[in-house]
């Protein structure tokens, strides 16, 4: 977007007003409002032109390979305006990479597409909520933990019962002692005879 001499003069006055609001006059404010309206109109026009360019690009892409010169020219124009090449553009350029212009555009589009994907993923990671942290409580006598230097948090009592602590000087039972294997019940002797 380029400003003319009159627009630049108004822009300078707008900046001066922003720095020193007390110096604002009605005429200056009206000029600033007109300039803001002109800028808004220019932005809307740029958006319309961009939409037209992208629609034209899609039409030329659909008509490949016959529309190759027009497609490559429109793609270069779109890239210059900040267009992120999509999968359709990459597929079309891959199919036409025997052409040196298409091969060069393919490399440029790959770099831009990778950069765009990385930026989206980084933005998603930055805005994603942090994983919920489980609340842990210390179960038992806190004084004992301090004496032993046990700083590892234990799960809260409602979530899982705290394991019983062995008494000092007593060995820790093995799992097979604490949880003996289950055995099938033996049927009474009368049922064995009948079967």
Report domain extents, the chain: 1-62, 66-124
The residue that leads in pLDDT, 13 or 173, is 13
Between residues 24 and 61, the one the model is more confident about: 61
The H or E element that residue 118 is part of is: helix 100-127
pLDDT at 89 exceeding the cut of 60 = yes
Token pair, residue 97, equals 């990479």
User: Greater confidence, 33 or 156?
Assistant: 33
List phi, psi (to 5°) of 136.
-120, 145
Distance between CA atoms of 183 and 60, rounded to whole angstroms? 77
pLDDT digits (tens, 9 = 90+) for 34-43: 888 888 888 8
20/156: higher pLDDT: 20
Find where tokens 């270069």 sit: 76
Minimal CA–CA distance to 142: which of 169, 162, 159, 170? 162
Question: Which region among 47-61, 70-84, 140-154 has the lowest average model confidence (pLDDT)?
Answer: 140-154
> What average pLDDT does range 3-15 have in this prediction?
79
pLDDT of residue 157: 46
Angle CA 91–93–98, to nearest 5: 125
């Amino acid at each position: 977007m380029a400003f003319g001499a009159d627009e630049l003069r108004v822009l300078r006055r707008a900046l001066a007003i922003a720095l020193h609001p007390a110096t604002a006059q009605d005429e200056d404010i009206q000029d600033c409002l007109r300039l803001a309206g002109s800028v808004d109109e220019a932005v809307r026009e740029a958006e319309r032109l961009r939409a037209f360019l992208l629609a034209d690009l899609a039409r030329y892409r659909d008509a490949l390979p016959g529309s190759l010169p027009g497609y490559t020219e429109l793609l270069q124009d779109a890239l210059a305006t900040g267009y992120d090449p999509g999968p359709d553009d990459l597929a079309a350029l891959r199919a036409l990479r025997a052409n040196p212009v298409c091969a060069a555009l393919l490399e440029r589009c790959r770099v831009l597409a990778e950069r765009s994907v990385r930026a989206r993923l980084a933005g998603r990671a930055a805005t994603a909520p942090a994983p919920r942290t489980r609340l842990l409580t210390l179960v038992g006598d806190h004084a004992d933990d301090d004496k032993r230097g046990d700083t590892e948090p234990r799960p809260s009592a409602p979530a899982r019962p705290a394991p019983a602590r062995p008494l000092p000087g007593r060995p820790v039972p093995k799992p097979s002692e604490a949880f003996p294997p289950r055995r099938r019940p033996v049927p009474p002797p009368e049922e064995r005879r009948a079967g």
